[in-house]
Chain A
């Protein structure tokens, strides 16, 4: 029972961190142009 008090919040926190990270990436526009992103990896120059 005492272990749960520690472990469950940790498990939830881990999931929450991943969720927040995904939301930040989404807001950042990283998912706006999935096909373009796949193509961009082939381009040589680093210019945006």
Chain B
């Protein structure tokens, strides 16, 4: 089980190009992404550009002769504002989130106060009073539209300048025309002003945008955190025999690192002196340390647990295995960000229809003989009524409620679009160790021991922090420990003590009879009992696999383990199992299934599953997984049980169903209200009632998901 992970270091990337990172906060649809990638690739000197949607950034691989300002200008030329990123840690998404919340607060304040004035007008304020109220409304509405409308105006302006259209274009035209018409009506002493409608529209749309942005900011880019696993540097033994501190970036092959117990390795290499245990849980998700001695290869990021070792560096910095996996993960994750979200797919159909409708009503009324003023008023009313207000809330409201329901069941979903993707899954790919199994050793031979022996064993196990001791302690929890004396732990050997004058110990087996199984030996006097440890299946693994099959999903087990170790698990779960897969093999397996049109849910925990998690159509990881896997996965579930997977898939499907219902409701409302608008019957009161009603209905429908995870 706790065998060394075998990764092949891929050959380095081509040296003649360099990669630069740019933050592009305005990206929020697949159209923007295609625009940037294709547009940048056409610029001479740029080899390729890749947009990372989660982190809202663009990685450009280019000729080193091009300076960052020129690259920035290239992105700006495509209609997006860009910022060079030296440090990926700068949180642009959080700043955008705050700006949205500020705009939402302003719009909310303005909407409330204008509505206060509008209600007076509707209840009969007339003449000079109405005129004054219109002026007051204008006074509040104009600065509000100028401030709170910015997120939409900027996005729409950038799109229009590039002769594209997105959801923000009808929104901006609608809001600006409505405000402009209302101002004109106010100046000329007209009967109606739609300031309340324009500001309320902004408020509802900003609410949707804020919900979306908040969900997105929860999903952080995994790679930066992954590279934190490596140490900042190491003590290097100089030729004069003295040691000095060398930063990780300055480490070179053939240097000799001195690694004390409790330190992380800063580079890949092999051990030349000393033996120790290495904790490589960040790579494998397995808790048991791996024993290494002279000649064994070790990876950067591993934690030295037992004693000091000397390591000759073979690879440092970007050439290490951990940096390689980080790259593989980022590349695999790119495919996922090509996914077009439901809301964007709806917007693509919706925006042209709305504009055509408004233009047709304007033309129709002009032909019918109404004045330009009258015709324009009607066109504005059509735009106001059709503004995708409910549409903007339809998706985020449902997703936020579903994510909240799942969170109470111990599933943390990181992105709204993850729910959409989870709903499309038709095959589930499991990692074995740590996913279908608990990923921690459980002792198997305790039943054969007498009560007194078990009490001594518990007392011995309590002395040590070794993973196998932890496992014994957990298994024997609840019985009384025997009184032992002289207890001492020898690192790498075991725990030794006396019980009523008799030597007792929990130690490494004297004979290496087991190569693959973890084992420990309990000795009392001359008698020795071998304790074997094995990873146990999660309590409901079999049930969950059966449930998934009943739901019509295929299941497959992909493991790095030996095929023999998979036999049992394949038999009890009734799934096909594939063994001896390295991280790149798992990735290839997923790509192959993807090409067959399968939508894969990858469930895995180790860093070796990282690339597969990033490549799957959707991915889940247990909370016991390595940090990088948790950051890569779309959803993380807590606890020892696998049942949350079944619940999550069920909730995801229900969420998509509710989202589609919401779309139907929003469009149905338009079908009812648009004829009114075209007929010129939409007064500000009708517009306000219709708009809030449709938004409320959509939110209420979304709230039905609250109990969906039960």
Interface residues of A (CB under 8 A from B): 1, 4, 8, 11-12, 15-16, 18-19, 22-23, 26, 31-32
B109 touches A15 (CB 8 A): yes
Chain A nearest Cβ from B104, distance in angstroms: 10
- Cα-based distance from A1 to B98 in the complex (angstroms): 40
Closest chain A residue, CB of each to CB of B106: A19
A11 touches B102 (CB 8 A): no
A19 touches B101 (CB 8 A): no
Question: Which residue, of A19, A23, A31, has the highest number of chain B Cβ atoms within 10 A?
Answer: A19
User: A12-B113, A12-B140, A19-B106 provided; 15 other pairs, C-beta below 8 A?
Assistant: A1-B129, A8-B117, A8-B136, A11-B113, A11-B116, A15-B112, A16-B109, A19-B105, A19-B109, A22-B105, A23-B102, A23-B105, A26-B101, A31-B98, A32-B94
B113 touches A15 (CB 8 A): yes
Chain A residues whose CB sits within 8 angstroms of the CB of B116 once the complex forms: 11
Interface residues of B in 551-578 (CB under 8 A from A): none
Chain A nearest Cβ from B84, distance in angstroms: 24
Interface residues of B in 118-156 (CB under 8 A from A): 129, 136, 140
- Cα-based distance from A22 to B101 in the complex (angstroms): 10
Which size class do B's interface residues fall under? Answer: 10 to 19
Question: Which residue, of A8, A16, A32, has the highest number of chain B Cβ atoms within 10 A?
Answer: A8
Chain A nearest Cβ from B30, distance in angstroms: 29
Closest chain A residue, CB of each to CB of B214: A34
- Cα-based distance from A15 to B136 in the complex (angstroms): 14
Interface residues of B in 88-105 (CB under 8 A from A): 94, 98, 101-102, 105
List the count of A-B residue pairs having beta carbons below 8 Å apart.
26
A31 touches B101 (CB 8 A): yes
Chain A residues whose CB sits within 8 angstroms of the CB of B101 once the complex forms: 26, 31
Interface residues of B (CB under 8 A from A): 94, 98, 101-102, 105-106, 109, 112-113, 116-117, 129, 136, 140
A18 touches B109 (CB 8 A): yes
- Cα-based distance from A32 to B384 in the complex (angstroms): 34
Chain B nearest Cβ from A30, distance in angstroms: 11
Chain A residues whose CB sits within 8 angstroms of the CB of B140 once the complex forms: 12
Chain A residues whose CB sits within 8 angstroms of the CB of B112 once the complex forms: 15
Chain A nearest Cβ from B123, distance in angstroms: 14
Chain B nearest Cβ from A2, distance in angstroms: 12
Chain A nearest Cβ from B98, distance in angstroms: 7
Closest chain B residue, CB of each to CB of A16: B109
Chain A nearest Cβ from B125, distance in angstroms: 10
- Cα-based distance from A43 to B466 in the complex (angstroms): 29
- Cα-based distance from A11 to B113 in the complex (angstroms): 8
21 cross-chain CB contacts under 8 A? A1-B129, A4-B129, A8-B117, A11-B113, A11-B116, A12-B140, A15-B109, A15-B112, A15-B113, A18-B109, A19-B105, A19-B106, A19-B109, A22-B105, A23-B102, A26-B98, A26-B101, A26-B102, A26-B105, A31-B101, A32-B94
- Cα-based distance from A12 to B110 in the complex (angstroms): 9
Closest chain B residue, CB of each to CB of A33: B94
Chain A nearest Cβ from B116, distance in angstroms: 6
Chain B nearest Cβ from A17, distance in angstroms: 10
Query: What are the 5 tightest A-B residue pairs by CB atom distance, in nearest-first order?
Result: A19-B109, A22-B105, A15-B109, A15-B113, A12-B113
- Cα-based distance from A12 to B105 in the complex (angstroms): 15
Chain A residues whose CB sits within 8 angstroms of the CB of B117 once the complex forms: 8
Chain B residues whose CB sits within 8 angstroms of the CB of A15 once the complex forms: 109, 112-113
Chain B residues whose CB sits within 8 angstroms of the CB of A23 once the complex forms: 102, 105
- Cα-based distance from A19 to B113 in the complex (angstroms): 12
Question: Which residue, of B109, B129, B136, has the highest number of chain A Cβ atoms within 10 A?
Answer: B109
Chain B nearest Cβ from A5, distance in angstroms: 10
Chain B residues whose CB sits within 8 angstroms of the CB of A1 once the complex forms: 129
- Cα-based distance from A8 to B113 in the complex (angstroms): 9
- Cα-based distance from A4 to B136 in the complex (angstroms): 12
- Cα-based distance from A12 to B136 in the complex (angstroms): 10
- Cα-based distance from A34 to B112 in the complex (angstroms): 26
- Cα-based distance from A22 to B94 in the complex (angstroms): 18
- Cα-based distance from A17 to B75 in the complex (angstroms): 41
- Cα-based distance from A1 to B132 in the complex (angstroms): 11
Chain A nearest Cβ from B38, distance in angstroms: 37
Chain A nearest Cβ from B109, distance in angstroms: 5
Chain B nearest Cβ from A6, distance in angstroms: 14
Chain A nearest Cβ from B134, distance in angstroms: 13
Closest chain B residue, CB of each to CB of A12: B113
Chain B residues whose CB sits within 8 angstroms of the CB of A12 once the complex forms: 113, 140
Chain B residues whose CB sits within 8 angstroms of the CB of A31 once the complex forms: 98, 101
Chain B residues whose CB sits within 8 angstroms of the CB of A32 once the complex forms: 94
Closest chain B residue, CB of each to CB of A31: B101
Closest chain B residue, CB of each to CB of A18: B109
- Cα-based distance from A12 to B143 in the complex (angstroms): 15
Chain B nearest Cβ from A32, distance in angstroms: 8
Chain A residues whose CB sits within 8 angstroms of the CB of B94 once the complex forms: 32
Chain B residues whose CB sits within 8 angstroms of the CB of A22 once the complex forms: 105
Chain A residues whose CB sits within 8 angstroms of the CB of B106 once the complex forms: 19
- Cα-based distance from A1 to B129 in the complex (angstroms): 8
Chain B residues whose CB sits within 8 angstroms of the CB of A19 once the complex forms: 105-106, 109
Chain B nearest Cβ from A35, distance in angstroms: 8
Chain A nearest Cβ from B635, distance in angstroms: 16
Chain B nearest Cβ from A26, distance in angstroms: 6
- Cα-based distance from A16 to B101 in the complex (angstroms): 16
Chain B residues whose CB sits within 8 angstroms of the CB of A4 once the complex forms: 129
Closest chain A residue, CB of each to CB of B97: A31
- Cα-based distance from A5 to B101 in the complex (angstroms): 32
Closest chain A residue, CB of each to CB of B117: A8
Chain A nearest Cβ from B548, distance in angstroms: 31
Question: Which residue, of B102, B129, B140, has the highest number of chain A Cβ atoms within 10 A?
Answer: B102
Chain A nearest Cβ from B119, distance in angstroms: 12
Chain B nearest Cβ from A24, distance in angstroms: 11
- Cα-based distance from A4 to B98 in the complex (angstroms): 36
- Cα-based distance from A24 to B365 in the complex (angstroms): 49
- Cα-based distance from A48 to B472 in the complex (angstroms): 38
Chain A nearest Cβ from B211, distance in angstroms: 13
Closest chain A residue, CB of each to CB of B91: A32
Chain B residues whose CB sits within 8 angstroms of the CB of A11 once the complex forms: 113, 116
Closest chain A residue, CB of each to CB of B136: A8
Chain A nearest Cβ from B112, distance in angstroms: 6
- Cα-based distance from A22 to B98 in the complex (angstroms): 12
Chain A residues whose CB sits within 8 angstroms of the CB of B113 once the complex forms: 11-12, 15
